[in-house]
Amino acid sequence: MRLFDTIFLSSDSRLRAGWRLLMQLVFSVLFYIPLHLVASQLGGQNLQIIAGGIAITLAVWVAGRVLDKRPLRDFGLRMDAQWWRDCLTGFLMATAVMSLIVLFQWAAGWIEFTGFGWNRASQRNFVTLLGGYVLAMAVVGFYEELWSRGYQLRNLTEGFYTGHNRNVAGLIAIGISSLIFGILHIGNPNATLLGIVVIFLAGVMLAVPYVITGQLGYSVGLHFAWNVIQGAVYGLPVSGIRFRQSILQFEVVGPELWTGGRFGPEGGVLGVIGVLALIALTLAHLRLRNDLFTISKELVRPPTSGSY
């Protein structure tokens, strides 16, 4: 019995963090498969994305209650006024950086403006198509942050924490969760080694505000804006996936090393610069409001008895 407890149970009699992560992955698959099959029969890609978001959220909720003994809000979703202010701040920062990336490419002659999305022939209404895409990107920004940062990063930090130095545990957790985040994009269309490296760095960028604040507001805003401004406004590929009815239509004609080519800005050097700029801006903003550059106690706080 002692051997069983050592392998499977932590000191607070919960399943150890590694097993929780594995079981949460099982829950994700069990919820995802049927919802994805139903969505694929009822609609297109956007509906499948929304179904995936529902599946992942349900999986985190179930794992949180059953395995972690935590409510959903403990995974960075204490959605008070500060959470929403952080979300807006992250959104505006990512919007500004992505716009500067596009402006630089346009000034360098690396992208060419070809028209507006509503001028493209389509059997569906332009506003409907655009609205569906924006909603899908909002869902992606939410559920990928809940899964990769909210659940994985928290459990990894908790798993590596020995009670002495949570900063070391947090840094290890950031590295592992960001590596997983990058690997999950290997199957995207037109993926390149540089693109996966940039997505790994983006995982670090999205983790930084979470580990400092203990909340996902900032990360969700950054993630949502990076995707929706790049794809819905400027029409550039988002990790290899192109939305053809964007507001502005641009074609990439510049060097792939810099522009990312068919993978999008996160596949090129400009993507590296953009991600590093967002890390710097985030840290500067958090410093201005006197947040400590340390792993939040929230990430290693044990569940409160009866809180779930």
pLDDT of res. 292: 83
Query: pLDDT tens digits, residue range 162-219?
Result: 888 899 999 999 999 999 999 999 999 999 999 999 999 999 999 999 999 999 999 9
**Paired residues of 238 in beta bridges:** 241
Domain assignments of the chain as residue spans, ordered by start: 79-300
DSSP line for 221-236: HHHHHHHHIIIIIS--
pLDDT of res. 1: 55
Query: pLDDT tens digits, residue range 233-274?
Result: 999 999 988 888 899 999 999 999 999 999 999 999 999 999
Q: Where are the alpha helices (DSSP H) in the chain?
A: 2-8, 17-42, 45-63, 81-107, 126-145, 154-160, 166-183, 193-213, 217-228, 256-259, 269-288
pLDDT tier, 143 (very low <50, low <70, confident <90, very high otherwise): very high
Structure tokens at 300: 């290693």
Q: Measured between alpha carbons, how far is 230 from 188 in angstroms, rounded to an integer? A: 16
Helix (H) or strand (E) holding 4: helix 2-8
Query: pLDDT tens digits, residue range 17-37?
Result: 999 999 999 999 999 999 999
- Provide the whole-model pTM: 0.93
